[in-house]
Amino acid sequence: MEQDVESPAAARKPKLPKQAREDLPKQLAEMDRAKKIQRYVQKDGKCNVHHGNVRETYRYLTDIFTTLVDLKWRFNLFIFVLVYTVTWLFFGLMWWLIAYLRGDLDHIADNQWTPCVNNLNGFVSAFLFSIETETTIGYGYRVITDKCPEGIVLLLVQSVLGSIVNAFMVGCMFVKISQPKKRAETLVFSTNAVISMRDGRLCLMFRVGDLRNSHIVEASIRAKLIKSKQTKEGEFIPLNQTDINVGYNTGDDRLFLVSPLIICHEINQHSPFWEISQAHLAKEELEIVVILEGMVEATGMTCQARSSYVSSEIKWGYRFMPVLTLEDGFYEVDYNSFHEIYETNTPTCSAKELSDMANRARLPLTWSLASKLSQQGLPESQQEGQETKTAPENEENSQTAERNGDITNLESESKV
């Protein structure tokens, strides 16, 4: 019996470098974690929420106009054609029924007989007369006579109901066509959000832009942090929404969106990212939803564009590439660099830790300067008394040097 025997040379796997062997489990874990992340809002702005087990479906019929507008185009067009066809068939049947009950169909060739509708000789002709009546075409071949009062009443009813159907269906189609949802397709958000230093403070930033020359009027930006939390009482709140301040107090959230803008959120004591470091961010399961709202300049209708960033799309220690350049008499925006980022020196600790270290480095230095200034202002007799206190001061100076050394080491590590 033959057996396939693998040679030792073939069975030997290529040996990976040590750094690659150490990073491989981390990369696999990150890939698995990225696959498991469930978005609340997709990158294109669609909300990833489905409503199930809705028992009170009659509520959709109470607002039938909005229900029709929210339907997909294929269903909307189907209902549009169906409504008109049903009304034409219904009134065509009514015209045929009147002709049948009056006996007009039995006296088609009788010139002495006065029918309700001239030249109506069957259901097909009644259906065509119904279309001509409701659409006010009036070819002149089929005409209602004055000897048919029931036909006159039916003509009035069909004219009124036809006008209502036209107003309802045409209005529904007009609203659906003029919806500014497609306008949001030209409002773009950066692929990634970044965290870096700006004016000495740790900031979270992302970029927005408008591809059209017609601008968004009264544009405003909002941001929400979507993250599950557990209260002190043990209550679990899934997908809790927390406001992220992007300039509400200073007015920076109101945008003049002529060229791409970088939206900045300062990470301070009131920020939900106050205690989050780079290592902590990689383990967090959170999502930032950004919402851009404004009025379309051409139509005056309100438009809303949405996007989101999960933790893997928030790059720590990066900045956005500049996209605006000055040309001969105008400014040019290069959208090829809209999503590009570059690495910059940024502390890996949280904003709270960075603030604590800055305070520890600042306070002893202030105390030492104040003590030296006070010593220079004392007379010689009092300075002799101060010499006895040199030992405690030396200890404080040594502690200050150690703290300043810690800050220097931390800054050198962040630069590396």
pLDDT at 189: 96
DSSP assignment letter at 321: P
Instruction: Read off the pLDDT of residues 323-381 as tens digits, 9 standing for 90 and up.
Output: 999 988 899 999 999 999 999 999 999 999 999 998 888 765 444 444 544 544 444 44
Cα distances (angstroms) measured from residue 131 to each of 87, 138, 139, 316: 9, 9, 11, 67
Asked whether the predicted pLDDT for residue 138 surpasses 50, the reply is yes
Instruction: Read off the pLDDT of residues 262-300 as tens digits, 9 standing for 90 and up.
Output: 999 999 999 999 999 999 998 889 999 999 999 988 888
pLDDT at 388: 44
Average pLDDT taken over every residue of the chain: 81
Domains and CATH numbers, the chain: 62-178 (1.10.287.70), 183-353 (2.60.40.1400)
Other beta carbons within 10 angstroms of residue 272's beta carbon come to 17
Asked whether the predicted pLDDT for residue 140 surpasses 50, the reply is yes
Q: pTM, whole model, 2 decimals?
A: 0.68
pLDDT at 364: 58
More confident residue, 140 or 101: 101
pLDDT at 274: 94
The answer to whether the beta carbons of residues 192 and 288 sit under 8 Å apart is no
What is the mean pLDDT of the segment spanning 113-123? 90
What is the mean pLDDT of the segment spanning 164-170? 92
pLDDT at 158: 94
Place of tokens 């050198």: 412
pLDDT at 381: 44
Distance CA(366)–CA(347), nearest Å, equals 24
Cα distances (angstroms) measured from residue 226 to each of 44, 45, 290, 311, 388: 17, 15, 11, 11, 60
Name the range with the highest mean pLDDT among 35-44, 51-60, 116-125, 400-409.
Answer: 116-125
Percent of the chain with pLDDT over 70: 78
Handedness of CA 115, 121, 127, 129 (dihedral sign): negative
Lowest mean pLDDT among 83-87, 170-174, 338-342: 170-174
193: confidence class by pLDDT, cuts 50, 70, 90: very high
pLDDT at 27: 56
pLDDT at 154: 94
**Who contacts 172 (Cβ-Cβ below 8 Å, separation ≥6)?**
65, 68, 69, 76, 80
More confident residue, 391 or 142: 142
Instruction: Read off the pLDDT of residues 23-63 as tens digits, 9 standing for 90 and up.
Output: 555 555 555 554 567 899 999 888 988 888 888 778 888 88
